Structure 1
């Protein structure tokens, strides 16, 4: 395998403390475009006091997992709720003995870091063909939106399972991509043996602070994850909001259409500013610019924080602006940039 990975500091989106340190004179409020979180959140319902004052019952958790199963087209016994996808990313590497792990990249850095922390030898590879005990792939990928066909995923899972290996498929950005002329297909309906699929709640519903995510896998692996999480892993408020939101298929379809229009609008702005669109999803767009570091700085000084990549300095990733004022500030800042 190529490109051995060692753990190091990871820069995340959404760190406005970093933004303020880099650009202390920037106007406020900051417009945070550095994440891929839906900027128009689900209208969270009023919650009964019991959601906060008592431990969640088994029936409550079962209702949440059943709601997620319906939303993802999965079977309820295959769905495991967790306190965020990040918790699962950290947990899964500890569920097997150290071995060789291939992460299809470049992609979200947390996967490789978690496997390294658990003692595995980790390499970044270009595709699913790597010889490894575990292969990790993000589809749609962050930051370029690359989608791996489900047939390729199933074939890789079968190859790995044949020798006791695993395929970990991160579908954090798949929810809204299931709509449209070229819908992204998920493995959730029938996860192959040895395959574990991760689904994010916070990104789709704009409620990242709720900390809710799901693993979807066949019964043996789902049971393994469930036991490792232990009881009461998900809070009462997260269960209550999750049940309501996951059952709201109308909101999900309307959000997909609206964010798709926003993504097209953002592409047009970035292209007009000299960007070459690399790809993305309905929740973020990625482009290469003639002077990526310079544009990052000019946007930062204007109070707009976007995602940069040390390994690809020309590349910037933009989340979607949340309102008309933010769209206007972004358009003005891009138009003022050299080469616009």
Structure 2
């Protein structure tokens, strides 16, 4: 199924604090797939606050270098592109690999397109009936990765008929070798990238669309001018140019992703999938564990189909110990 719980998302700490009676400052939030740490931010000049944002300030150049592409469009978080892309086509038959981040399906349904929920095994049979195939790589919430060769094969079949392959790569920064960024100038291939997740800056609301210039021009016209604030452009430009910082962030996230998988396995909740930024556990006790952890101020992401939990990364050693102890307590009480 598409992501359960309507269009609710992780990170809703204020609602959790009210529901479970735990003070906002006392939560360990593992409900998102956002890096819980980043690195020192650059100084923001006063002009970034007082002047309208302008292009040619270095952001696009830095982003093109980071993603290894010739053409891209900065957007106010990849969410902006998710909502706008369905407005560029009419009456499309759209296949979405499920389970998937719910906003994708909602956006295409909102514009009146016909949606088909697909399993990975069902793509080849359905492809000739589709105008658009949409998937997340690595998948959210399962962490399933798709080989570039498989995706390019699907894209070629769609492109023959003028169709689109849309790939949401929000969680791929730690494994860029799996990205389709280098192929994004091919007709009918659209790649969405998130800035905030890898860089640990979700509040900056920045993402990028990698695609043919004609698609980017249509999107830019639809979204209008000044989509990215001046301060966001300054910060993002600096971090996209900080190759040493990116390397250290990638190494830390990969190590912590493995540590989380090991911790969960040791407590009897071996992940069924995951990536550097989160681990995904299918278990019959998912709902009970979610409630148990929430009562102790640890917020996870619960999914109903399949019944499962997604765990993000703790930010510090205290958080790691707190999660380990809570999982051990649940296992003890469940015996």
- Whether these two folds match at TM > 0.5 is yes
> Quick one: distance in 2 between partners of 1:7 and 1:175?
26
> Which ranges of structure 1 fall in alignment gaps of 5 or more residues?
179-183
> Quick one: distance in 2 between partners of 1:235 and 1:48?
13
Q: Is 1:92 matched with 2:72?
A: no
Deviation at 1:317, TM superposition (A): 0.6
Per-residue CA shift, 1:8-32, capped at 9, x if unaligned? 8322111113312431257951111
Q: Is 1:261 matched with 2:281?
A: no
Alignment partner of 1:326 out of 307, 315, 319: 319
> Quick one: distance in 1 between partners of 2:201 and 2:3?
31
Q: Which runs of 4+ in 1 moved over 6 A?
A: 5-8
Helix, strand or coil at the partner of 1:277: coil
> Quick one: distance in 2 between partners of 1:333 and 1:7?
25
Match of 1:169 in 2: 167
Match of 2:241 in 1: 247
| Residues 254, 87 of structure 1: alpha-carbon distance in 2 compared, 3 angstrom cutoff | same
- Greater share of helix: 2
> Quick one: distance in 2 between partners of 1:259 and 1:74?
24
Q: Is the 8 A contact 1:52 1:237 kept in 2?
A: yes
CA RMSD, 1 decimal? 2.0
> Which ranges of structure 2 fall in alignment gaps of 5 or more residues?
none
Q: Is the 8 A contact 1:28 1:303 kept in 2?
A: no
| Residues 296, 253 of structure 1: alpha-carbon distance in 2 compared, 3 angstrom cutoff | same
Q: Greater shift after overlay, 263-272 or 125-134?
A: 125-134
Matched length = 327
> Quick one: distance in 2 between partners of 1:8 and 1:274?
26
> Quick one: distance in 2 between partners of 1:6 and 1:294?
19
Alignment partner of 1:302 out of 274, 296, 301: 296
> Quick one: distance in 2 between partners of 1:252 and 1:86?
23
Deviation at 1:66, TM superposition (A): 1.4
Q: Is 1:118 matched with 2:111?
A: yes
Match of 2:265 in 1: 271
Deviation at 1:218, TM superposition (A): 1.7
Match of 1:22 in 2: 19
Deviation at 1:230, TM superposition (A): 1.9
Alignment partner of 2:200 out of 197, 206, 209: 206
Q: Is 1:48 matched with 2:36?
A: no
Alignment partner of 2:69 out of 68, 74, 83: 74
Deviation at 1:167, TM superposition (A): 1.0
Q: Is the 8 A contact 2:27 2:299 kept in 1?
A: yes
